[in-house]
Each structure stands twice: as C-alpha cells, then as structure tokens.
Amino acid sequence: MGKKNTIAVNGDTFSYDEAVELTGHGRYNYLLLFTCSLITNACALDMFGFATVVAASSCDLKLNLTQLGILASAPFAGVLFAFAWGYFADMKGRRRALLLSNSVGFVFALASSFSTHWLVMLIFKIIGCGFSSAGFTLTMALLGECTGNKHRSQHLFIMNSFNLVSELFSFSLAWLILPLDFRVPIPWMNMVFRPWRLFSIVQALPLGIGAALMFCLHESPKYLASNGDYVKALEVLKSIYERNGGNREDYPVKHLVQPPFQTEKSTEGQSFWMSLQQQTLPIFKPPLLWRTIQLFFLLTLCCTTNNVFVMWYPTIVNFFFNSFNSPDMSDQTFCERVFGNIVSPDTGAYQCNDVISTSTLYAGMLYGLFYFIVSLGVVKVASRPKLVLISILLISGASNLLVNQRQPVVNMIFFTLLQCTSLGIGCVASYFVDLYPTMHRGLVTSLAMMVARLFSLVGVSVVGAVITHHCEVTFYSWAVYVFIGAGVCLFLPADRKSIK
C-alpha cells in the first residue's frame, strides 16, 4: 500500500464524523451554507423563473401555445445530464463539478437572454440547465459531507429554504422589471432589447456569483478520504478548523481512520465502463436496492407535485384572476374559474399578449414568501425528517382534494398548500446523505434527482394536456398519488434511531 493510503492508528486518530465535529462551527460553515444556498437559489431561478421569461417573451418570439408549452418544459430536459454529473462528482470531486456546472450554466443563461428565435432559446436552455441543474444535488452532497451531525439536517433545510425563496425573488424581480417600458433596437443582432431580456439576465447573475464563491471553498474532505487521500483530507479539516477561529496546530485530529464498511476505491488503470459499473451497480443491489427504490419514489413525488404546478402557476393564476372580470363567473369552482373561459389559439379571437397581471405577480411573491417562512420554521424540527415528510404529504394530499371549492380565497390557499411537497425535498436529501457510502452519494443523489425531474418533464406536459378538460379528476388523482407516498414514508428509519 502506497503512502497516500496509509492510515496510522493511535490516540490522535478519529473517525471522519468526529473529525468534522472537532473543526467547530463558524465562519467557514456559514460561508459554505451561504454559497450552497445561493447556488440552489440560482438553479431554481434558472429553471422555474424561466416560465415567467417564456410568458413575457411570447410576442417577441412569436410563440403559439404549443411552443410556449415546449419552452416551459425545456429546463427539465437538462436533467438528462444528471447521471453524468453524479459520476463526475464522485470521480473528480464535488467542488470541481459545482464550479464547472455553475460557470457554463451562467454563460448559456446569458446567451438565452439574447435569443431571437424560440428554437435557439430552447437549445440554449436545455444545454444551460443541463449544467446548472447539477447544483440541486451536488450542493446537498457537499454541504452534508462538510457539516457535522449536529447541524447537518438544519443546514440542509436552510439550503432548501433558499431554493424555495427563489419564487419570491423571481416574482419580485418581475414586478420591478417587466412593467418597465423601453425598447432598445440592436440591429446587428436583429433584435429589440425589452424588459424581459433584462429580467432574464438578472436571473442568471446568481449562477455566476455562485461559481465565483466556489473558489473560496475547499473540496469535501470526506470525498478526499473516501478516495484514500487521508493526508489531503486532514489538511482541509485543519484549514476549516482555522477558518472557524481555531489555531491549526491545536486541531486534535492527527489521523483519520477508515470506516469498517468502506472499501478502498482505486480507479487507476480501469476503463471508463468498469469505473462506471463500480460506481453504479451497488446502488441497485442489496442491501441498498429497496432503499434506493423507496427514496427515488419519494423524491420524485416531492419534486413532481411541486414542479408540475409551479411551472403552470403563472398561467393558472392568471386565468384565475382574469375570471373576476367576467360577471357571469361570480359563483364558480376553482376549475370552472380557471378553465371555463379559455379562448383557443385556433380561433380568430386569439391574440398575442405578453402582459402578466400584477395580481399574478403579487400572488407569486406571497407564494415565495410563505414557503420561505414555513421552511425556516421546519428547520426547528429538522431532526425528525420522517415525521415532517409524512405531515407534508398529508397536507398536500388533503389540499388536492379541497382545492376545487367555490370560495376564491379558499381556492388560492389550497392551491398553494398542495405544492408544499417542496419542503420534503430536504427531508429526502438527508436520507441520501445518511444512508449511502460517500463513494456513491453524489451519483445516487444525482440519479434520484434526474428521475424526479424527468417525471416532472412528463408531468408538465401531461397535466397541461389533461387538466383543461379534466380538472377535478387531475386534482383527485394527484391526491391519491400523494397519499401513497405518505404510506411509503412509514418504512423509513425511525427519527430517534441513530442512522449510520
């Protein structure tokens, strides 16, 4: 065994979890939390804020309703690269993967802001989200591995909260920018620079800032240790200890011990396919197989229930508020209000309209603020992810059943609450961090998110095709889907049981 993989065992030897706890909890941890939170916020803006960009650009890009739907679902196609990102993160490191994904995602997000044809915007968005969407999962791995057990669940919940506040941020920016009235011709690009392009550029900036902040952070020491580089892992831990206010020489950990369940990994001399097989197969074999299926299903449930309705949120809420302009619709259910007076694009009455009502923007801002506040409150019970996840799914399922009422205020309350499954993403993420070996954690989390986003892509299209004529059935069927998820949660590890 070479020097790199030599593990000295003496009185100064600690397990990795003990070593992380001994680094303290200070400035480095807060910088890491802020950076990961900013990146997840940036990813959400790039993905979900795009729905507002599409609606506001419909006239300039001459979009019909079919093209609007294709563009709105484009960000989800980017998750086709999730497997590659998980593999890259497990082979080359979380920090390097995040730096690359944010940098390239930022460039393509900017490029899409200057698109003059919807197909160009579609291509740029798919490629850009193929990079930027990696941040959703890779930040979970990096933050979870660099945070001690005492604060890990809380930090994952806080990070998820900043994911949710992206709605507030996006709609607030839209409220400030989209009502502006300016048109700046750019002849050499054959385009007119209007407010929606500025809005798109501003939404892309957090990706660039997140990439810059990654230069201030270390690679995950747990990743380094899992690759046998205990010397470098220890140096990173000492640096974290120092940046948290300690003296490097006073750090008590001199050696790291290899966990008994972890086998040494070496990819030198292996072919790509052999390396890929070594990384992937254990996830889908006992003893991890059934846990993988369970967590994949729960993450898919949490993502699809939120993502599908979030992508249609501007459209549905716009229809809802516009219904109040029709006096004959004063006593209607939610479904009747939203889909009872739609003008088909195939009729001569259909006209291009890229104006988003202020009521829709206000509703989106309140939506984001509400979930940001609630998610911060959930942090207090982050140590009980099973109870929190079951509660969230029960609330969402009940809201799907109750949304189609005749009271407008009740409609908006339950339509907002049915999307609360976004709060459960942090719960499921904590299980991926706790239950999987370090060498597979980045890949399994990325694969799970890839599956979840692919189902979201399908869900956006299916719901869009079905809900117009089968609105009530859509909500009732979704309620059954969510309640099944609550039942699956019963088989998760108990909250008070220590998870190794």
142 vs 282 pLDDT, higher one: 142
What pLDDT score does 376 carry?
Answer: 75
User: How many alpha carbons fall within 13 Å on the CB side of residue 204?
Assistant: 24
Per-residue pLDDT of 150-182, as tens digits, reads: 788 778 878 877 776 788 888 899 999 988 888
What pLDDT score does 262 carry?
Answer: 46
What value does the mean pLDDT take over residues 195-219?
93
Highest mean pLDDT among 316-325, 414-423, 490-499: 414-423
Write the single-letter amino acid at 20.
V
| 3-class DSSP string for 257-311 | CCCCCCCCCCCCCCCHHHHHHHHHHHHHCCCCHHHHHHHHHHHHHHHHHHHHHHH
CATH topology (fold) of 11-258+274-325+356-489: Growth Hormone; Chain: A; (1.20.1250)
Domain range list for the chain: 11-258+274-325+356-489
Q: Are 449 and 139 in contact (CB under 8 A)?
A: no
| 3-class DSSP string for the chain | CCHHHCCCCCCCEECHHHHHHHCCCCHHHHHHHHHHHHHHHHHHHHHHCHHHHHHHCCCCCCCCHHHHHHHHHHHHHHHHHHHHHHHHHHHHCHHHHHHHHHHHHHHHHHHHCCCCCHHHHHHHHHHHHHHHCHHHHHHHHHHHHCCCHHHHHHHHHHHHHHHHCHHHHHHHHHHHHCCCCCCEEEHHHCEEECHHHHHHHHHHHHHHHHHHHHHHCCCCHHHHHHCCCHHHHHHHHHHHHHHCCCCHHHCCCCEECCCCCCCCCCCCCCCHHHHHHHHHHHHHCCCCHHHHHHHHHHHHHHHHHHHHHHHCHHHHHHHHHHHHHCHHHCCCCHHHHHHCCCCCCCCCCCCCCCCCCHHHHHHHHHHHHHHHHHHHHHHHHCCCHHHHHHHHHHHHHHHHHHCCCCCHHHHHHHHHHCCHHHHHHHHHHHHHHHHCCHHHHHHHHHHHHHHHHHHHHHHHHHHHHHCCCCHHHHHHHHHHHHHHHHHHHCCCCCCCCCCC
Tokens coding 180: 């502006």
- Report how far residue 385's alpha carbon sits from residue 382's, in angstroms, rounded to the nearest whole number: 6
Tokens coding 450: 């890839």
- Rounded to 5 degrees, what are φ and ψ at 311? -65, -30
pLDDT-based confidence at residue 330 (cuts at 50, 70, 90): low
What value does the mean pLDDT take over residues 63-74?
75
pLDDT-based confidence at residue 208 (cuts at 50, 70, 90): very high
Average pLDDT, the chain: 82
What value does the mean pLDDT take over residues 121-126?
92
What pLDDT score does 39 carry?
Answer: 92
Per-residue pLDDT of 469-483, as tens digits, reads: 888 999 999 999 999
pTM listed for this prediction: 0.72
Tokens coding 5: 């993989």
